[in-house]
Amino acid sequence: MSSHHPLVIGNWKMNPATSAEAKALFLAVRKKVKRDAPVSVVVAPPFPFIPDLSRLSPGGRLPLAAQDVFYEDAGAYTGEVSGSMLASLGVSYVIIGHSERRALGETDAQVNKKILACLRRKLTAVVCIGERERDLRGDFFSVVEGQLRALCTGLSARQLAAVVIAYEPIWAIGTGKTATPEDVKEMQLFITSVLVKLYDRALGKRMRIIYGGSVKPDNAAALHEAGGMQGFLVGGASLKADDFGAIITSVIS
């Protein structure tokens, strides 16, 4: 098991509507993060809010994640944002390969290149994987294994150890259908076993794996205790400071 504190990331997606609302939400979340608490809390706002929020987080008390990054460092790529731009604004994490981006056409190969872009800029990549649906034959394990193998392409054990894997079954995202703690534990063991096969036991133990998909204050403690993962990627509930605060508390044992 990884020796890091649990990691709780709030993925705000395309919310809220204005910078003023984003600042108010950020400050409300910041109040929920006790200075010495054994947990790492990160907020992933939309790109335009990052500079303002970065100024509200002196010393990186509430570190910021971007919700995406482009894999080239500079050039004629209209609309894209590079890792160096994000690093220059004080961003320290980047969510990569979220299922909502994959649904817009992002491929496993692009996810892999984006991880390499993060590694070049010392940004922590939080890479999302997960099956669209579960079947009784267990074919969803091969889907997850395929995504894992693809994201690891060309990465050394040292490089992969700097990455966080977010297991987010698509059927549980924004639907209120959470995977059971047993499902989550089984997937944590499966992901670890694939990493041990691809690399070695030391890496399998070191990797940080977190869970996402309808994590709420009322299921977070059970998911954390029995699910065996090292934290959560939270969507909807991260937009309410009280709910997000309750989820943060649930991972502090």
Active site amino acids = 98, 168
38 versus 174: smaller Cβ distance to ligand PGA: 174
**Do β-strands 65-66 and 40-44 pair in parallel, antiparallel, or remain unpaired?**
unpaired
Q: Which of the residues 8 through 27 are near ligand PGA (CB under 6 A)?
A: 11
State in angstroms the smallest separation of the CB of 190 from ligand PGA. Answer: 20
For residues 202 and 175, what is the distance between their CA atoms, to the nearest angstrom?
Answer: 36
State in angstroms the smallest separation of the CB of 232 from ligand PGA. Answer: 8
Asked if 131 interacts with ligand PGA (CB under 6 A), we say no
State in angstroms the smallest separation of the CB of 100 from ligand PGA. Answer: 7
Query: Radius of gyration (Cα) for the chain, nearest Å?
Result: 17
Q: Which of the residues 203 through 242 are near ligand PGA (CB under 6 A)?
A: 212-215, 233-237
63 versus 204: smaller Cβ distance to ligand PGA: 63
Q: How many residues does the chain have?
A: 253
Neighbours of 90 (CB within 10 A): 16
102 is written with which tokens?
């994959």
Q: For ligand PGA, which residue of 18, 174, 177, 202 counts as binding (CB under 6 A)?
A: 174
Amino acid at 72: E
Listed in sequence order, the residues at least 6 apart from 204 whose beta carbon sits closer than 8 Å to its beta carbon are: 192, 193, 195, 196
Which chain residues interact with ligand PGA by CB under 6 A?
11, 168, 173-174, 212-215, 233-237
